[in-house]
Amino acid sequence: MNYTEWEDFFKQNQVHFRDIDFAAPDELSGDEKAIIHSSLQQFQRGENSEGKHLFAFAKTNPDPAYLRCISLFIREEQTHARVLGIFMDKHNIPRIKKHWVDGVFRFLRKSAGLENTIRVLLTAEIISKVYYVALRNATGSSLLKQICTQILKDEDQHIAFQCDTLNPFYRQKSFIGKLFTRTWHFTLMTGTILVVWLHHQKVLKKGGYRFRTFFYSTLKVFFDAESDIKRKEFRITKKKMVST
């Protein structure tokens, strides 16, 4: 889609959690809470960003609709943090203000221009496509399952949105430039997979993933996104991406 269409999508999607009753009774066993506790704290923190550097880099895009899209995108990410926080408050899971993994990603996002920032964001969203499936399966909580299902739907569109942004950058590169960018992104992706496994394997295992399945499931999403970025033509209609 072009950015005007993306802007319309983000505006329409602002009511995406409207059908969830956050006040309804919800059950989470002590064992389930122990499994997701620290993992959920880290992901909730990672979703909660002011996006100042992203917004500043977005100003370099000549299409004024893109800046409005980024503003709406940041708000949607903050909504993910808010609803996860509501779940955490409901089950007495404290929120954290910082974590070193989140700090590394924030550093990478602000260390270069718009293209680098979007690729780092895309890496996190690719991880989220697998992580939230595992988190959804890891407990019997009806509320958490509903939250994860909606976040997965949102992440489908976020990945498509970032691929639309990266496509023009990719098409303008030389063969060597394309090779370097893809190699760097693959290295970042595989490194992130390893770090996430080390810190979140309790949730991933409980949600049905061993390291091998987590690794290959994440790489499948990565290669699908890379294929989308490399397409020769700018997408006219929204690509339908199905949550696992």
pLDDT in the model for residue 241: 39
Residue with tokens 């718009």: 114
Residue 192 reports pLDDT greater than 90: yes
Distance CA 84, CA 21 (A): 13
Domain of 172, in residue numbers? 3-10+30-229
Of 19-28, 99-108, 110-119, 183-192, the range with the lowest mean pLDDT is: 99-108
User: Has residue 21 been placed in a domain?
Assistant: no
pLDDT of res. 244: 42
How long is the chain? 244
The reported pTM is: 0.89
Quote the pLDDT of residue 236: 40
- Please indicate, yes or no, if residue 206 is contained in any of the structural domains: yes
Is residue 244 assigned to a domain? no
Is residue 22 in a domain?
Answer: no
Please state the rounded mean pLDDT for residues 12-36.
95
Q: How far is C-alpha 14 from the geometric centre of its chain's CA atoms?
A: 17
Residue 199 lies inside a defined structural domain of this protein: yes
Total number of domains in the chain: 1
User: Do the domain assignments include residue 115?
Assistant: yes
Please report, for residues 36, 62, 98, the alpha-carbon distance to residue 106 in angstroms, rounded to integers and kept in the order given. 23, 24, 11
CB 131 within 8 A of CB 193: no
User: Which pLDDT score, from 0 to 100, does residue 100 have?
Assistant: 53
* 216 HSE (CA, 13 A, CB side): 4
- d(CA 182, CA 51) in angstroms, rounded, equals 25
Token pair for residue 176?
Answer: 């060597």
**Residue-wise pLDDT tens digits, 168-187:** 999 999 999 999 999 999 99
Q: Is the residue at 234 inside a domain?
A: no
Q: Across residues 15-27, what is the average pLDDT?
A: 94
Q: What is the pLDDT of residue 107?
A: 55
Within the chain, strands assigned E span none
Across residues 26-43, what is the average pLDDT? 95
Residue 108 — pLDDT band, cuts 50, 70, 90?
Answer: low
- For residue 136, what is the domain's CATH number? 1.20.1260.10
Can you give the pLDDT at residue 96? 87
**Does 242 map to a domain?**
no
